[in-house]
């Protein structure tokens, strides 16, 4: 599963920013949750091309930033973006294998940790990377994302193929000391094809384990059915969960 995720992000690195409107919007929203402190060391998990990293540079100009991503192609783009910033280190690394020589005052992640899937409920290891008084702030997709696509597939009795994202209730149950909020962002696409194509552009088209892809004729039928729902645009729900934790 993880290998497929990496392969998709490798392929989508060059076109990522062309379709990253939601990632940009969530990055802006997440930045408003960040604390007004002066951290010395910051870790970002899943930096991608550096969209959220730019907020960190602006908010904490004196901090040393360690930016991680599992895709070497994404890392290369991010390195080029911040090549003139000596305080920033960009590394290709799987966060589940990451070993730090020092702890961090702030750990952040924008629209990444949901890719951990079942291991999303084993994030306590991130607390061990925090200094006392440090904070963890992140955004992920929630269970009600892409409701419109799920409904169309249900109407036509086909599997939607989407990964299953966590519910707000399940995260609160696993992490009772963490704080969570949620929001629904409605994004409009020109067509059902544009929605699906954005997954490829972003490298986020990985389907859940065991899913049998639709035949091309069946997929075209689903797309036509979806497009017939609206004359102007296709609306899609992004259910975003924001979480934070303070290491006391």
Q: Strand pairing of 64-69 and 130-141?
A: unpaired
In whole angstroms, give the CA distance from residue 166 to residue 150: 16
Q: Which of 82, 13, 83, 6 is nearest to 48 (CA)?
A: 13
Q: What is the pLDDT of residue 209?
A: 56
Q: Which residues of the chain have pLDDT under 50?
A: none
Q: Are 131 and 37 in contact (CB under 8 A)?
A: no
Q: What is the pLDDT of residue 1?
A: 59
Q: What's the CATH code, domain 2-144+163-186+240-246?
A: 3.40.50.150
Q: What is the pLDDT of residue 208?
A: 53
Q: Are 239 and 145 in contact (CB under 8 A)?
A: yes
Helices 192-202 and 216-227, packing angle to 10 deg: 120
- The ranges assigned to domains in the chain are 2-144+163-186+240-246
Q: Which pTM does this prediction carry?
A: 0.90
């Amino acid at each position: 599963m993880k290998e497929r995720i990496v392969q998709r992000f490798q392929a989508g690195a060059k076109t990522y920013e062309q379709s990253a409107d939601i990632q940009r919007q969530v990055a802006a929203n997440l930045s408003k949750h960040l604390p007004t402190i002066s951290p010395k060391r910051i870790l970002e998990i899943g930096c991608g091309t550096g969209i959220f990293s730019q907020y960190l540079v602006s908010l904490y100009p004196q901090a040393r930033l360690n930016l991680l991503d599992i895709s070497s192609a994404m890392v290369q783009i991010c390195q080029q973006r911040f090549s003139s910033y000596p305080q920033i280190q960009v590394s290709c690394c799987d966060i589940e294998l990451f070993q730090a020589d020092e702890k961090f005052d702030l750990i952040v992640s924008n629209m990444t940790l949901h890719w951990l899937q079942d291991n999303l409920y084993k994030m306590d290891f991130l607390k061990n990377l925090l200094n006392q008084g440090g904070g963890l702030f992140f955004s992920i997709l929630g269970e009600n994302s892409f409701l419109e696509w799920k409904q169309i597939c249900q109407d036509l009795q086909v599997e939607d193929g989407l990964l299953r994202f966590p519910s707000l209730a399940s995260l609160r149950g696993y992490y009772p000391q963490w704080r969570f909020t949620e929001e629904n962002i409605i994004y409009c696409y020109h067509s059902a094809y544009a929605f699906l194509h954005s997954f490829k552009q972003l490298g986020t088209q990985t389907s859940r384990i065991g899913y049998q892809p639709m035949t091309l004729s069946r997929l075209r039928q689903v797309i036509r059915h979806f497009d017939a729902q609206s004359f102007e645009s296709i609306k899609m729900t992004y259910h975003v969960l924001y979480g934070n934790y303070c290491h006391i």
